[in-house]
Amino acid sequence: MKYDLSDRLVVGIASSALFDLTECDAVFRERGEDAYRACQEAHADDVLGKGVAFPFVRRLLSLNDLADPSDPLVEVIILSRNDPDTGLRVMRSIAAHGLPISRAVFRQGRPSHRFMPALNMSLFLSADGADVRAAMADGLPAGHVLRTERVDDDADRELRIAFDFDGVLADDSSERIYQSAGIDEFRAHEVLNATTPHDPGPLREFLAGVNRIQRREEEERRAVPAYRPRLRVSLVTARDAPAHERAVRSLRQWGLRVNDAFFLGGVDKAAVMRALDPHIFFDDQVAHLNGTAPATPSVHVPFGIVNAPVP
């Protein structure tokens, strides 16, 4: 029987984002592909350590307990440049960690992101910045996971996801005005267009998928009053009043929602992130992520004017 992905939240993830491949990558860089293959095959039964996106993926997949096992809410699929032989270690590590991931695409030395539409993926995560930029250049939603010092609390069942707004959930049209004309023109433009929703950014559909799971959680809470929703979404943006209104209205007109919103107006996001403690944070600006990444699993979404090549 055909397995239908159309009604699921599907995330593609590179092994570099799911696991800590620091040692393997060093072998590849210093000694080449043949040595890398030999290293992976020699250590095929050695379980890989947890990578930056592991806590996010583990919690996201745990939400499948809200659905029939034959019809899960979430699907995570490996998208890898490894060949099938070296990919064995990845799949064995997935099994050892108890992650319910059974589907994978292994393409020796070639990017896999072009298969995202065929697999109904609304997000691709990788620790390889070049692969992420290639996916984004093809109009596909992707994020580059950055190294972090955060240690996950395995006992914490809640999944907290944080998003920037411009260049992440929304397009960068307003950011372009800010970059070219400054903050006053930006605010004036946003007030004038407060009732006009933004065009979608690269991660809007991912948030839509997250919201579908939140609606399922709300159904569970109504049926079982003791159930405590585990999925919480925050908006963390440099916007402030009066530009905040267009962001709120855009979410509403898209039919989407967040649980929390932080309109910071230039306040350091890193301090807020340390208090909020999300398991993953998406932002389009490296300057913000350099501050958040040490304590917060952070993802660079290389979209829009702020990520355009310098002429």
Sorted by where each starts, the structural domains of the chain and their CATH numbers stand as: 9-145 (3.40.50), 159-307 (3.40.50.1000)
Sequence-distant (6+) residues with CB within 8 A of 69 are: none
Q: Chain-centre distance of CA 269, in angstroms?
A: 18
Distance from C-alpha of 22 to C-alpha of 51, rounded to nearest angstrom: 10
Query: Which tokens is 301 given?
Result: 């979404």
| Residue 65, CB-side half-sphere exposure with 13 Å CA sphere | 10
pLDDT in tens, the chain (311 residues): 688 898 899 999 999 999 988 777 666 666 666 677 777 776 777 899 999 999 999 999 999 999 999 899 999 999 998 888 778 889 999 999 999 999 999 998 888 999 999 999 999 999 999 999 999 999 999 999 999 998 888 778 999 999 999 999 999 999 999 999 999 999 999 999 999 999 999 999 999 999 999 999 999 999 999 999 999 999 999 999 999 999 999 999 999 999 999 999 989 999 999 999 999 999 999 999 999 999 999 999 999 999 988 66
Short-list 22, 135, 9, CA closest to 79: 135
| Residue found by looking up tokens 């998928």 in the block | 209
Short-list 290, 217, 296, 299, CA closest to 257: 217
